């Protein structure tokens, strides 16, 4: 027995449209319209699909808001770590300067202060372990590529030690172009132990004369809204304890500031304040119980370790600030997108209601 089935043309059209949507084919759309001052594509989707889209965007906004708050809390802890490390570094600089003044004119040989013709430069590249932080990692990677190109143009060989998963992954895939000696992870709270491991590799490379100069490329924490990719000369050290970048500009912590997140009128705001550090004055009169070379051999590696640790801490603070800004921008975009989709949804719903009312009125008048 044969059965015949009759299906209305509109129903077939609806089934065809649904089938094309599930098969990944194009869905019919109307021309872009200006909504809220921005152009948005108005797709002919069902009301249920638009409600799901609004809910999805809202959930994304909640996630980015939560990530913003987490990054903001971590930024403050990273700032505190940078500020707390300052008294030791500044006191060590005073000791080095006093010893150098006391030993002025004497013939002292310190391996970390040995200045020799530069044939090979070792670059310490500090990136983050994670993404979702805007262009933070890309800025450091581009700065490294630029510095390597400059050195190669001068006939100087460049070696890399990467700190952070992002930089390790990027340069690890390009071993034919870049000479990567070793890779380290940045972590969420750089400690003296991690800085010591990096400093030991640098010390071995420089003292063995495998590298004639060591430079560190990291993002110097300027503010919550800005970070400065810096190329800092790490070795050879100055006996006075001065640390300068490749342009001869002194890099110090005299202008450090603390940035506090506060809530005013339901919105985040940033307040800054100076961060002075109290250090006791160093006595100018001293008596050496050991050979001055031995004293400098002990102090200069200690000072180098403190500089590596400070760079890691500043890089982490810059990464967290960049992530906080990226998540803030993502939350604002999600809020704006949700507003636009809701407006389109309300217009379509109102148009459908109006159409049904017109049909009811037309049917009543015909009756």
Token reading at 213: 């100069």
**Order of strands, sheet of 120-126, starting from the edge strand that comes earlier in the sequence:** 179-184, 157-163, 120-126, 213-221, 227-235
Q: What is the spatial distance between Cα 214 and Cα 156, in angstroms, rounded to a whole number? A: 12
Q: Is the distance from CB of 235 to CB of 112 less than 8 angstroms?
A: yes
Q: What is the spatial distance between Cα 92 and Cα 3, in angstroms, rounded to a whole number? A: 96
Residues linked to residue 235 through DSSP beta bridges, in sequence order: 214
Residue 41 exposed, middle or buried by CB count within 10 Å (0-12, 13-18, 19+) = exposed
Q: What is the spatial distance between Cα 316 and Cα 163, in angstroms, rounded to a whole number? A: 11
Q: Which of 44, 113, 126, 133 is catalytic?
A: 133
> In the annotation, is 126 catalytic?
no
Residue 117 exposed, middle or buried by CB count within 10 Å (0-12, 13-18, 19+) = exposed
Q: What is the spatial distance between Cα 152 and Cα 303, in angstroms, rounded to a whole number? A: 30
Residues linked to residue 283 through DSSP beta bridges, in sequence order: none
Q: What is the spatial distance between Cα 167 and Cα 74, in angstroms, rounded to a whole number? A: 22
Which residues form the catalytic set?
A: 133
């Amino acid at each position: 027995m044969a059965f015949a089935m009759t299906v209305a043309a509109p129903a077939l059209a609806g089934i065809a449209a649904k089938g094309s949507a599930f098969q990944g084919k194009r869905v019919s759309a109307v021309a872009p319209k200006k909504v809220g001052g921005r152009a948005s594509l108005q797709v002919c989707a069902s009301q249920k699909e638009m409600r799901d889209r609004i809910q999805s965007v809202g959930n994304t906004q909640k996630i980015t808001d939560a990530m913003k708050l987490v990054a903001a809390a971590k930024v403050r802890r990273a700032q505190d770590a940078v500020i707390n490390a300052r008294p030791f570094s500044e006191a060590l600089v005073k000791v080095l300067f006093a010893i150098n003044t006391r030993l002025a004119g004497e013939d002292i040989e310190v391996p970390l202060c040995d200045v020799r013709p530069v044939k090979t430069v070792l670059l310490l590249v500090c990136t983050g372990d994670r993404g979702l932080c805007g262009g933070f990692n890309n800025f450091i990677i581009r700065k490294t590529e630029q510095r390597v190109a400059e050195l190669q143009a001068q006939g100087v060989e460049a070696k890399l030690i990467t700190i952070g998963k992002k930089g390790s992954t990027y340069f690890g895939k390009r071993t034919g172009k870049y000479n990567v000696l070793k890779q380290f992870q940045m972590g969420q709270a750089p400690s003296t132990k991690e800085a010591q491991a990096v400093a030991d590799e640098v010390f071995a490379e420089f003292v063995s004369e495998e590298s004639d100069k060591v430079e560190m490329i990291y993002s110097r924490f300027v503010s919550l809204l800005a970070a400065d990719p810096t190329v800092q000369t790490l070795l050879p050290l100055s006996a006075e304890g001065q640390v300068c970048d490749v342009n001869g500009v002194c890099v110090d912590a005299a202008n450090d500031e603390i940035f506090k997140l506060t809530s005013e009128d339901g919105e985040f705001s940033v307040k800054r304040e100076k961060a002075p550090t109290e250090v006791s004055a160093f006595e100018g009169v001293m008596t050496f119980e050991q050979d001055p070379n031995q004293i400098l051999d002990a102090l200069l590696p200690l000072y180098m370790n403190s500089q590596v640790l400070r760079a890691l801490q500043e890089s982490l603070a810059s990464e967290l600030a960049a992530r906080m800004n990226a998540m803030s921008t993502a939350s604002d975009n999600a809020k704006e997108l949700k507003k636009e989709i809701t407006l389109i949804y309300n217009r379509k719903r109102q148009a459908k209601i109006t159409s049904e009312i017109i049909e009811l009125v037309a049917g009543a008048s015909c009756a």
